[in-house]
Structure 1
Amino acid sequence: MSKVKYYYDSETLSYRKIEKKKGRKFGIFFLSLLGMILSGFLLLLVYLNLPYVETPKEKALKRELANSQLQFELLNKKMQEAEEVLTEVAERDNNLYRIYFEANPIPEEQRKAGFGGINRYKDLEGFDNSNLIINTSKRLDILTKQIVVQSKSLDEIAALAEEKEKLLAAIPAIQPVNNEDLTRMASGYGYRTDPFTKARKFHYGMDFTAPRGTPVYAAGDGRVERADNTASGYGNHIRIDHGYGYESLYAHLYKYNVRAGQTVKRGDLIGFVGSTGRSEAPHLHYEVFKDNERINPINFYYGNLSPEEFADLLKKSQQENQSLD
């Protein structure tokens, strides 16, 4: 039941009933409808523009995503720098280190091989930045594999270098008698006149004339194979096995300073000059073997002679004279 409203009429001094106007109801209804339409339109505008309206949380997530993209871009730049450095190392490895140590170069396809078989990056698909993440992951995996390949190669080079160092120390590379102790270089490698038969025959070593008791030194690292006088013509002699196919022999000694089975280093005192065996005068007869073949010792004195001293020794060793044994 609607309420009846009255108003006070001052002229009649009485309360009169307020009559409702029919037009007013229609106006109120029209205004209400208009308000609803406007409200709906505003809500529609808000809805249509909702993607452009960011909440504080969305803004924070957007900043985080932008930062992640920036980090991935920086990571890709760093990986590019690492790839360039690794390429330079690989080039030196193949064209310098492995050639020097006589090792086969690592093929390019082995260094830069990818990953076949199953899709390793399936879990990274379906995101807004999947391509960036997958590409970065692939590059990182390939770079890691290349580093592993290069690391193994450098380990191999280190082992070869250590072996090379042992080889260089083992090669009989010094003159077994000091220059200041020499009277002269009596005879070299090649055809010489035999001091006893006066026949021309091949002399397989070098004769260093020095006073009896002059120190004789090991020409390289090795193991004393024998130190005795049981070989015909050599008298008291020492034979050192240097490994890698190299051996050296020191003959006509006065006495020994080592024994068979002993390990020696280059420059160790092993004996003293004498004239035992088939010898005409005190001297050291010195021979070098490679793979059981006698070779010219003149090629192995780079360890303790200057270029001038070596040139002088080479000139004397080429003279055809009489040997002392």
Structure 2
Amino acid sequence: MAKVKYYYDSENLAYRKIKVRKRKKFGVAALFLVASALFGFLCFIVLLNTPYFETPKDRLQAREIDNLKLNFAILNKKMDQVDDVVEAIEDRDNNIYRVYFNTSAIPDSVRKAGLPGINRYKALQGYDNSQLVTNTTKRVDMLSKELAIQSKSLDVILNLAKAKNKLLAAIPAIQPVRNENLKRLASGFGYRTDPFTKARKMHEGMDFSANVGTPIYATGDGVVKNADNNTSGFGNHVVIRHGYGYETLYAHLSKYNCRAGQRVKRGDIIGYVGSTGRSEGPHLHYEVHKDGNVVNPLNFYYGNISAIEYVAISKLANQENQSLD
């Protein structure tokens, strides 16, 4: 029941009841309703921002976040596997490929070095799952960097392999006269008796005795430097420049099958056995030069003879007999 209020009427010397106007009553009621509505709205907003009250949209976002966390976890496991594969490739690269091609290994300080920049991941910070996203992004960036370094390294190895193949093809690795065409190995590399002066002198090659017209083969890939008889004592001769410091000389030919400037392959016929120049009989005088120095040709016959044949030739070549030139 509403409280009745009175006021004192001094003119009539009596207490009279205070009558509230209807408009004022309506205003008070309206103000109460507005205040109640505002209070209720504020309470609703507060509830929306508490974990105790979830809207359908909140539940959908929560599921999406959980899904993303799961996907990030799966991605990190896959990156663990990729890490293992990359490390295995790096290990083979350093300890097999680069060792084989006599190239220095790439140190871990280069492979695992951090990425440049003060804070490359500033844009990813400040969120609820920033740590997860940032760490995963860092791993992806590091893997990309390591793969780029490894890709460049394999390009280097490929170029070295191509160069190695050219080197192997250039090295004089076969006999210039086939065994079936040989009468005998007349003389080897070293000090021998000169057939003309009978003095003991250095014989800088090997003499292969064979019939006139027997084919002579290029012992490695290269370019014909000379095919003439301008050098005293050698008669008709051919010099092949193989590259990598190697040159071979074939002397006393009966005729040529190549010309200066011609590119030849190992096994190509470059001329035929003869006895031109300072020679005591039909044979091929063969020399191998490395970096301007004569070397024993016997050390290079691994391309077309067996181990047994090599031992037999080695014994004959090391006998101190008379040379044919």
Shift of 1:174: 0.7
Aligned to 1:17: none
Per mean C-alpha deviation after superposition, the further-off stretch among 109-118 and 179-188 is 109-118
Aligned to 2:154: 154
- 1:302 alignment partner, SS class: coil
Shift of 1:233: 0.5
- 2:323 alignment partner, SS class: coil
Q: Aligned runs of 1:112-127 on 2, under 5 Å? A: 112-127=112-127
Shift of 1:99: 1.7
Distance 1:85 1:179 in 2: 50
- 2:321 alignment partner, SS class: coil
Shift of 1:55: 2.7
* Cα deviation digits, residues 42-96 of structure 1 (max 9, x gap): x89x949952343322222111111111111111111111111111111111111
- 2:51 alignment partner, SS class: helix
Q: Aligned runs of 1:304-323 on 2, under 5 Å? A: 304-323=304-323
Distance 2:121 2:203 in 1: 74
| TM-score normalised to structure 2 length | 0.84
Aligned AA (1:280): E
Matching of residue 301 in structure 1 with residue 290 in structure 2? no
Aligned to 1:189: 189
Aligned AA (1:154): L
Work out the percentage of aligned pairs sharing the same amino acid: 63
Aligned to 2:28: none
Aligned to 1:23: none
Distance 1:254 1:270 in 2: 11
Distance 2:48 2:249 in 1: 101
**C-alpha spacing 1:49/1:225, structure 2 compared with 1 (3 Å):** closer
Shift of 1:129: 1.1
* Cα deviation digits, residues 108-141 of structure 1 (max 9, x gap): 1111111243201111111111111111111111
Q: Aligned runs of 1:64-213 on 2, under 5 Å? A: 64-213=64-213
Shift of 1:217: 0.4
Distance 2:78 2:147 in 1: 15
**C-alpha spacing 1:71/1:305, structure 2 compared with 1 (3 Å):** same
**C-alpha spacing 1:189/1:56, structure 2 compared with 1 (3 Å):** same
Structure 1 ranges of 4+ moved more than 6 A: none
Aligned AA (2:197): T
Aligned AA (2:317): S
Aligned AA (1:298): L
- 2:230 alignment partner, SS class: coil
- 1:165 alignment partner, SS class: helix
- RMSD over aligned Cα, in angstroms? 1.8
Is contact 2:215–2:273 with CA below 8 Å preserved after alignment?
yes
Shift of 1:306: 1.1
| TM-score normalised to structure 1 length | 0.84
- 1:106 alignment partner, SS class: coil
Distance 1:50 1:103 in 2: 64
**C-alpha spacing 1:120/1:189, structure 2 compared with 1 (3 Å):** same
Aligned to 1:257: 257
Aligned AA (1:119): N
Distance 2:287 2:149 in 1: 45
Distance 1:203 1:221 in 2: 25
Task: Kindly tell me the number of residue pairs found equivalent between the two proteins.
Answer: 284
Q: Which runs of 5+ in 2 are unaligned?
A: 1-35
Distance 1:52 1:220 in 2: 86
* Cα deviation digits, residues 120-174 of structure 1 (max 9, x gap): 1111111111111111111111111111111111111111111111111011111
Aligned AA (1:140): V
Aligned AA (2:215): P
**C-alpha spacing 1:304/1:48, structure 2 compared with 1 (3 Å):** closer
Aligned to 1:4: none
